[in-house]
Chain A
C-alpha cells in the first residue's frame, strides 16, 4: 500500500514536532498497528480518522503510555516516551471515550488529586480547577460527588482533569461520544481555545463533521497504517478530482475504500 502524504515533514524534524511516531507496531492476533509513521506539529489540532478496528485507539494508547508497542518509537516534544515515560507523561494528557473518574470524589477533589499527581502547586491547581469547572459549566456541581453525574457531566470532569495540569499535548480518543449537543459544543470550544493558547491536540472521532470543522490536518488510518494525511482540501485532492467540493464523509469513504486490499 502506498501512503499518500502531503508534505508532512514540511516543518522540519523531531525537534519542532509535538509528536513524532516512527515505525509504530503492535500485534494482537493480527497487526493492529503496522509500522505507523506520524508527525504532528506544535500547536496543531490533528484528527485521526479510520473505520472500526483500524488501529486508532491502539495508536493513541501507545502514544499515551498505556500500552507498550512491539516496535517503533514515540517522541513527545523531543522526549523519547518509551525511554523516559515519566518525563513524557508530565506534559501529556489523555481522555478516553469512557470517562474514568472516581465516583466518590467531588469534581474539585478529583481535579485536586489529578493536579497533585502532576505536581501542580495547590493554589494554582485550585485556581485552574475552578476556572475549568466554570468554563465547562460544572461550578454548581463542584462540591457534589460524581456518582450521580450523567455521562456528559462525567466526560466534562474527565476533560477538566486532563487540562488541570496544563499539558502541552492532549490526546483524546472519541471524547464526544455520548455527549449532547450543548456538552459537545462546550468540549469543542475548550479544545479550540487550548489550541489557540498553544496546546497540541490529537483526537480520534467518528463524527466527521467535527474533524472537518476543528482539525487543521486529518490523518486517515486503515488496517494499522496511515493511508492519507493532510488538510481537507489536500485529502479531497488525494481522493480524486471527480469529488470536487465535497464533504469529508465522501472523501473518507473513498480513501478508505481505496486503502482496502483488492478482493
Chain B
C-alpha cells in the first residue's frame, strides 16, 4: 500500500510502483479527450511549493492537478529560507494553516520534502530534492519504457552523465532495479559518486562498454555553468566522450530507445539528430509526465483524503 507521501522511489515497493504505473495508464486517456478534465479532485487544494525554479516540472504538476479539477496554487520561493530569516518549518506551517490537500515540493537541497512531510498535515509529493530523488520523473520514465517495450523486467538501462549530482539517476536506479532491469551508469570519474556500486549498479567510464547491448540509454542534463572546468575540462571534451550520437548508439541494441529528462543541451548530451527523432522518446516522456503526476495526485489526495 502506498504511504501517505511520495518522497522517493527507494521507499516504494515493486507493487507500489506497478500500482502507480497502472493508475497512470488509466489517466493517459483523459489527456486525449476534447474536454480534458474529470472531477476527481474537485474542491481539493494542491500547492506547488517550488523553492527552485523548474518551469517544466511545475507546469506538468499544474496541468495534472487541473485535469483532475483540483485548485492548483503555485507558491514559488525564489530566495533560500536562510536569507529571509524564515526557517523551512515556518514556511511549512504557514502553508499548512491554509489547509491544502496535497503539497508538491521542489528544493535544491536533499531532504527538504522529507522534513516538510514530518510537519505538514497534507501529504507531500517530492518534485525533486537536490541530488537525492525525483520520483515522478523516474516513474514517468518507467511508464514510457513500459509503453515502448511492453515490460521492464530483463531490460538493460544505461544512464549517462553527471550521476553524482543527479536525482533523476538515483530515482531511476531504484525504480528500474525494483522492476527487474539491469542498470548501468556511465560518466567521467569526477561525476560518479562514491560507492555508487552499492546501489546495485555497474559503473563505467567507457561509454561504448556502458551502452553495449542496452535497451534504454538515458542521457542526463549537464550543468555546464557550474561544472565546466571543475568536473570536466570542457564542454567540447564532454560532448566528444559522453555525448550520444547515432555512431555511438550503434553499440546499443538495434531497437534501443534514447531518453532525456530535459531540457536538452543540444550537441552536448545528445546530438541534434537524436534530440528530435526516434529512437529518442523525449516528448513521450513529457506527455506521460502529466498522466503519471495525475496518478500520484489521485493516489495521495484523491482516495478520501488523509484517511485513505
Tell whether A and B belong to one assembly. Answer: no
